Structure 1
Amino acid sequence: MEIWLWVLIGLLTLCIVFLLIKVYLLRKSAREIEEAFADRLMTETNTLIDLSSRDRRMRELAAGINVQLRQLRRERLRFQQGDMELKEAITNISHDLRTPLTAICGYLELLRKEETTEAVARYLDVIENRTEALKQLMEELFRYTIAASSAEDLPCDEIALNDVLEESLSAYYAALKGCRITPEISMPEQKVRRCLNKNALSRIFGNVISNAIKYSAGDLRIHLRENGEIIFSNHAPSLDELEVGKMFDRFYTVETAKSSTGLGLSIAKMLTEQMGGSIGARYQEGVLSIYISFPE
């Protein structure tokens, strides 16, 4: 009886050891699949997932994931090609439209020198305003495609957010003064340093300030914090929460910003996220606040 008991214990022990080894190998295979899948998603490679395990089920799982990876790669290539073609098309259209627009502006200038009636002068004003808006849209489209094309290759240097913010405000001094806006600026005495692209950061600040000029009721408060967060806030009674929620969408504009192309904040969002930052907007009690953060 004791012999059979020892035999049974031995068999159970062997089964447990076998199951432990099996579980270990399955966990190892699952870890290999997880790591390989994450690597394939992050890198541009044609290499598929391969396993060291010979377990049939795990190899079937890897084969199924490889099928999805092939499909994902095809979709990614198609998207990249389509995106590139779209950017090239927009760039070409922008260039092609500049010549006739320049000619239109020239003829409008000549018309201004001719004797015209009050009605004709009014019509010319409308044509000039619309032509200027079209020129601005073309320029923004061109800048957007350039920013999108070069966003992946932004060289970074250690810069002080304080200095770039001051330079951006100086560049918009005339526009702010023309709208009778005297910005209230608050920033720490100590330099807030980050590894960023200076030109891209200047573009971000410039687009946000330009947005404030469009919607502000006459005020602008800018607060730079030591943690790398910058807050631009101003009273904007013409906006509502729904409009603010769409402000970063491409080509979205509101009726009160007739000269806007709807690309400024979209470009700011793209560049901010490309440099590892975040940007968002909030509307509360008639005050529009745009938050930009660059953590360490």
Structure 2
Amino acid sequence: MSAPQNEKRKRGFFARQSLLSRYLLIVLSAFLFIPIIIPLASMIYFGVEAFDGQTDRISLKYGNANELEAAWHAEARTLHGADADEVDAKLRELKAKYPEASMFWVDADGSTRLRLPEARSGVPDRWTAAEAIRFMKSSVGSDPFTVVAFLGAENGDGAFMALQMPRALVEGGVSGGRGTTFIVVFIFVTFALFTALSLWFFMHIRKRLLLLQAAMSKRDEHGLPAPVEQKRPDEIGGLEAAFNGMVEQLKAGRLLQQEEEELRKRLISNLSHDLRTPLTVMRGHLYTLAKENLSGKGKASLDTLERKTEGLGALIDNLLAYTLMTSGRYKLEPEPVDVLRLVRESAAAWYPVWEKAGIEADISLPAEPLIWQIDKLAFRRILDNLFQNIVRHAASGKYAGLYVEEIEGRVSLIVADRGPGLESGSMVSEEKGAGIGLAIVDYLLREMGLHWRRESSEQGLRILIYKEA
């Protein structure tokens, strides 16, 4: 990410699009949740309570309890000095006015005179002081709402009349327990919303991170990840931008690597062709020198030059072949072939070379054919490279073995020698010169679906070529 982008990211650290700012907002809301939400819930409750109280007061059929009690006492005062018939008539009149109510009146002697409705039970026929006290005590704060008023002014007559009305008709509003329920429900709903907001916040982050992870796992035809879409200018957006920058750098590096690879291949190809001409001239002069009368020391030097010239020619051939292989221009045409017959033919061609180097050839191949799907020319090249390595790096062992063994359920062709092996320091240094030849062996075997491995010990080196079962 460039310096201006970094500076912009720093300036926007607590910006609205920043994940940190949004997370801090959620945390701050959590800290303010308890001290603010309870007073807020109380204010809302009392506001609703006040509104409901006014509505209930307007909708009460007979007014509230105080108004009904005052009206009942006023009616009782109008009956000062009235006889029984007048009180009965007044009570029936009030019953028509308050049809939901129950009424009765008691004269000065303590006898119940009229009950409305007349079938009403629970009212004694005769009232004693104990009965009156018990009635008044049971009526306080109970349902139905009860009002008792003495007849006449200033309770002068000793008679009284009682009204019992369902409390719901004279008392509006809600009970005190409803306020607690309201506050608890309000807090629970608010907490649920806060939890849902937090969960949404983190699920949104998780979803974006999973999308970024999936994008990192995808590869194009060149094995490189594809760039992702930067959706928001926050921290994850910065990560997406950094990932896209990395992808661009990988693409640029791959293009540079391809260009360098093509340059290397052209260089090797041109170098191989350019070296052939002086090598041909050298071979011609060596052939001419071989006809001259040379001393024993001169003949030994000439033999060394011939071997090195042949090795250089083989190295040039291998370089050119390896360049063709890695550039995809070395075409193989596999077909069913008797591998053992091909090995016998190649070994027969190399027998004079081994004999000249003093190498004893031990060829123990079965008569039964071993059919593999291979390219004949490619497999001959593999054998030539392996046989050449024996001559160049294991001639001191004076042995070249070719035989077949069944190892781990697989029939393996084995090329063995009794040279110094891979553990020898001289062998390791010589292996550097044989690296291209063995690289060609590895490439061709893989292309034909075959496998190989080397087993080195003090007795020499064994190279196993086999086909997976």
- The residue aligned with 1:33 is 216
Please give the secondary structure, in 2, of the residue aligned with 1:232: strand
CA distance in 2, matches of 1:227, 1:100: 50
Give the Å deviation of 1:265: 0.8
1:267-282 correspondence runs (5 A): 267-273=440-446, 279-282=452-455
CA distance in 1, matches of 2:366, 2:235: 62
- Aligned counterpart for 1:85 among listed residues 263, 283, 290: 263
Matched residues, number: 277
- The residue aligned with 1:256 is none
Letter in 1 for 2:444: L
The Cα offsets for residues 44-68 of structure 1, whole Å up to 9 and x where unpaired, read as xxx9502375473333223222322
- The residue aligned with 1:180 is 360
Please give the secondary structure, in 2, of the residue aligned with 1:83: helix
Letter in 2 for 1:135: G
1:12-23 correspondence runs (5 A): 12-23=195-206
The Cα offsets for residues 92-112 of structure 1, whole Å up to 9 and x where unpaired, read as 233223223322322333333
Aligned CA distance change for structure 1 residues 222 and 52 (closer, same or farther; 3 Å): farther
Letter in 1 for 2:457: Q
Aligned CA distance change for structure 1 residues 122 and 171 (closer, same or farther; 3 Å): closer
State yes or no: 1:232 paired with 2:414: yes
CA distance in 2, matches of 1:10, 1:126: 91
The Cα offsets for residues 106-141 of structure 1, whole Å up to 9 and x where unpaired, read as 233333334445554444334333333333333333
Aligned CA distance change for structure 1 residues 243 and 77 (closer, same or farther; 3 Å): farther
1:280-295 correspondence runs (5 A): 280-292=453-465, 295=468
Unaligned stretches of 5+ residues in structure 2: 1-182
Q: How big is the alpha-carbon RMSD for the aligned residues of Structure 1 and Structure 2?
A: 4.0
CA distance in 2, matches of 1:290, 1:190: 18
Determine if contact 1:101/1:131 at 8 Å carries over to the other structure: yes
Q: Max radius of gyration: which structure?
A: 2
- Give TM-score, length-normalised by structure 1: 0.71
Give the Å deviation of 1:31: 1.0
Determine if contact 2:228/2:244 at 8 Å carries over to the other structure: no
Letter in 1 for 2:418: A
- The residue aligned with 2:70 is none
Aligned CA distance change for structure 1 residues 237 and 199 (closer, same or farther; 3 Å): closer
Aligned CA distance change for structure 1 residues 64 and 145 (closer, same or farther; 3 Å): same
Task: Tell me whether 111-120 or 220-229 shows the greater mean CA deviation.
Answer: 220-229
CA distance in 2, matches of 1:34, 1:202: 42
Give the Å deviation of 1:188: 8.8
Determine if contact 2:339/2:371 at 8 Å carries over to the other structure: no
State yes or no: 1:76 paired with 2:254: yes
CA distance in 2, matches of 1:223, 1:243: 29
Aligned CA distance change for structure 1 residues 172 and 237 (closer, same or farther; 3 Å): closer
- Aligned counterpart for 1:170 among listed residues 326, 333, 345: 345
- The residue aligned with 1:265 is 438
- The residue aligned with 2:87 is none
Give the Å deviation of 1:143: 2.6
- Give TM-score, length-normalised by structure 2: 0.48
CA distance in 2, matches of 1:56, 1:275: 52
How high is the sequence identity, in percent, across the aligned residues? Answer: 23
- The residue aligned with 2:162 is none
CA distance in 2, matches of 1:169, 1:244: 31
Give the Å deviation of 1:238: 1.9
- The residue aligned with 1:241 is 423
Aligned CA distance change for structure 1 residues 18 and 64 (closer, same or farther; 3 Å): closer
Determine if contact 1:185/1:222 at 8 Å carries over to the other structure: yes
State yes or no: 1:103 paired with 2:281: yes
Aligned CA distance change for structure 1 residues 128 and 63 (closer, same or farther; 3 Å): same
Aligned CA distance change for structure 1 residues 285 and 81 (closer, same or farther; 3 Å): same
Please give the secondary structure, in 2, of the residue aligned with 1:283: strand
- Aligned counterpart for 1:94 among listed residues 252, 255, 272: 272
Aligned CA distance change for structure 1 residues 26 and 204 (closer, same or farther; 3 Å): same
CA distance in 2, matches of 1:223, 1:61: 57
Letter in 2 for 1:219: G
Please give the secondary structure, in 1, of the residue aligned with 2:455: strand
CA distance in 1, matches of 2:184, 2:248: 59
1:114-125 correspondence runs (5 A): 114-125=292-303
Please give the secondary structure, in 2, of the residue aligned with 1:241: coil
Letter in 2 for 1:239: G
Unaligned stretches of 5+ residues in structure 1: 254-260
Aligned CA distance change for structure 1 residues 99 and 119 (closer, same or farther; 3 Å): same
CA distance in 1, matches of 2:306, 2:427: 32
State yes or no: 1:67 paired with 2:245: yes
The Cα offsets for residues 9-66 of structure 1, whole Å up to 9 and x where unpaired, read as 343244334533442343133212321xx227426xxx95023754733332232223
CA distance in 2, matches of 1:41, 1:223: 41
Please give the secondary structure, in 1, of the residue aligned with 2:229: coil
Moved over 6 A (4+): 186-190, 224-229
- The residue aligned with 1:258 is none
State yes or no: 1:127 paired with 2:309: no
CA distance in 2, matches of 1:98, 1:136: 11
